[in-house]
Amino acid sequence: MAQLSSNLLLIAFFLYFLSTLMFAVSVTGRRFKDKKGIERNRLGTYGYISSVAAFVLAMGYFITRWIAGGHAPVSNMFEYTTFLGIMMGLGFVIIYPIYKSRVLGLFTMPVVMLIIAYASVFPTEIQPLIPALQSNWLKIHVITTALGQGILAVGFAAGLVYLVRVTDFKTKSKKVTSLELVFFGLLCFVGHILLNMGFSAVNYEAEFQYINEFGQEAPITYQLPALIGPNEGTLLSEDRLSPLVNAPDFIVPDDLNAVIWAFISGAVLYWVLRLIFRKPIGGALQPLVKSVNPQSADELSYRAIAIGFPIFTLGGLIFAMIWAQIAWTRFWGWDPKEVWALITFLFYAAYLHLRLSRGWQGEKSAWLCVIGFAIIMFNLIFVNLVIAGLHSYAGM
């Protein structure tokens, strides 16, 4: 069953890739308006069908894994992150029929793939549930939150479409730089995934002895070459890079190390792409979105946020509070994870008010969608891995 489950996920991943390709061809194909042009555009529909099929198979993964493990697969980093990707795919499946925007598909599908691929960097074994996680409310909370965040992430993709569409990449400006930073950030994820796949393919491991945050000696194994060593660490493995500096004890050292590698690899990838395209990444993407009406991209991103916000609030705050009341004896405890859910909530509330009453539409609004997504990812990655708290899946 577990094997079937991973196979289903793999096929789903492939279908997301296929969907990306079809949307890409469908969008670029439009430039050649020949007689076959109309036929080519049907590819957009195929792209959508492919994304629906991918979602169905991904749910197959979810259900079979649930059966195999006996609990909903949303209880560690791999499971949650994968599920977030699937929910973003679902968000797209819901929103596409309303606006029929193929460019949205072209921007959403790669992000979905990126999130799912990122998930597989974490340990994928099925783990038993510790008592604190044995609750139906936890499942409900996590599933709803992921759905909300997934739909908000579609808003991010639409915001990105808008920004790429309207920004003038011919001249240097702050806007161009900021947008390039966003692409750089996405490339860091790509780099991180590639590095992890590469080093785990050759079974790279570097073992250290170090002093953990409780002041005790403990072993730790790095999966990537250590630039940042653990607190007072000594390298035990032979022929491994010895760290440049050691991290203080309150930081999870191998995660910090991985983050630094992600930045380095992201920079390399970015530089390579710049060399290939000889222009900003956004500028290279711009021809793909030139057929988009900015106003509809703007409205689309707003719709996605308006649909996602109540779902996120229900899952990330209300169900979270119900679960916390049952599991931790109090509905709210200012745990970092909770605080960041609140911050996400406040952020999107501010977005809605700015948009509604202060006329923040178009460019400003699109930037807010980008920042909102950054907050969601920050909550997923940084808060889980670096600022350890009650909800943390750290070390899993």
Partner 1 sequence: MSKVKCECGHLNPYGTYLCESCGKPLKEDDNSLANMRYEGVARRSQTYKKSIVDKIWNFFSSVKVGVWIIVLTLIASSIGTIFPQEMFIPPGQPASVYYYEEYGTMGQLFYQLGFHNLYSSWWYMLLVAGLGVSLIIASIDRFVPLYRALKTQRVTRHPGFMKRQRLFKKADTVTEPSEEIKKASEVLKERKYNVREENGNILAEKGRFSRWGPYVNHVGLIIFLIGAMLRLFPEMYLEDHIWVREGQEVEVRGTGGEYSVRNDDFLVEFYDPEDERFREGLERSGGDVVKTYQTTATLFKQSSETIGAGEKEEVQQHRIRVNDPMSFEGFSLYQVDYKLNELAAFTFALEEIDGDSEGLEDVRFEVNLYDPEPSYEFDNGYRVEIYDYFPNFTFNDDGEPSTLNRIPDNPRFIFEVFAPGEDDGELSFVGIQLNEAIEEDNQYRLRMVDFETNHVSALAVRRDRTLPILILGGIIFMVGLVQGSYWHHRRMWIQERDGELWIAGHANKNWNALKKDFDYLAEQTNIPAPNDQTDEQDESERTDEGVREADDNGSTKQ
Q: Which of residues 172-231 bind partner 1 (CB under 8 A)?
A: none
Residue 364 interacting with partner 1 (CB under 8 A): no
Q: Which 67-96 residues touch partner 1, going by CB under 8 A?
A: 68-70
Spatial distance between the Cα atoms of 93 and 47, rounded to a whole number of angstroms: 11
Q: Which 132-151 residues touch partner 1, going by CB under 8 A?
A: 132, 134-135, 138
Spatial distance between the Cα atoms of 147 and 308, rounded to a whole number of angstroms: 8
Measured from the CB atom, the residue of 345 and 382 that comes closer to ligand HEM is 345
Measured from the CB atom, the residue of 181 and 349 that comes closer to ligand HEM is 349
Q: Which of 227, 354, 374, 394 binds partner 1 (CB under 8 A)?
A: 354
Measured from the CB atom, the residue of 267 and 371 that comes closer to partner 1 is 371
Q: Which string of DSSP letters, residue by residue, matches 195-252? A: HHHHHHHTT--EEEEEE-TTS-EEEEEESS--SEEPTT-EE-STT-PPPSEE--TTS-
Q: How far is the CB of 298 from ligand HEM (least distance, A)?
A: 14
Say which residues have a Cβ less than 8 Å from residue 31's Cβ, sequence separation at least 6. 287
Q: Judged by CB under 6 A, how many residues of this single chain contact ligand HEM? A: 7
Q: Which 309-328 residues touch partner 1, going by CB under 8 A?
A: 309-310, 313-314, 318, 321, 325-327
Q: How far is the CB of 60 from ligand HEM (least distance, A)?
A: 35
For the chain, how are helix, strand and coil distributed in percent, rounded to 5? 70, 5, 25
Spatial distance between the Cα atoms of 296 and 159, rounded to a whole number of angstroms: 11
Strand partners, 222: 206
Max alpha carbon distance in the chain (Å)? 73
Burial of 30 (0-12, 13-18, 19+ CB in 10 A): middle
Buried b (16+ CB within 10 A) or exposed e, 64-96: bbbebbebbbbbbbbbbbbbbbbbbbbbbbbbb
For residue 295, the number of C-alpha atoms closer than 13 Å in the C-beta half-sphere is 0
Measured from the CB atom, the residue of 104 and 370 that comes closer to partner 1 is 104
| Binding map of ligand HEM across residues 290-329, x = CB under 6 A, - = no contact | ----------------x-----------------------
Measured from the CB atom, the residue of 235 and 317 that comes closer to ligand HEM is 317
| Binding map of partner 1 across residues 91-130, x = CB under 8 A, - = no contact | -------xxxxxxx------------------x-xxxx-x
Spatial distance between the Cα atoms of 79 and 382, rounded to a whole number of angstroms: 17
| Binding map of partner 1 across residues 282-311, x = CB under 8 A, - = no contact | --------xxxx-xx--xx-xx--xx-xx-
Q: Which 334-373 residues touch ligand HEM, going by CB under 6 A?
A: 346, 349, 352-353, 356-357
| Binding map of ligand HEM across residues 190-219, x = CB under 6 A, - = no contact | ------------------------------
Q: In angstroms, what CA-CA distances link 360 with 90, 304, 314, 331?
A: 28, 16, 25, 34
Q: How far is the CB of 195 from ligand HEM (least distance, A)?
A: 40
Please report, as ranges, the residues that interact with ligand HEM according to CB under 6 A: 306, 346, 349, 352-353, 356-357
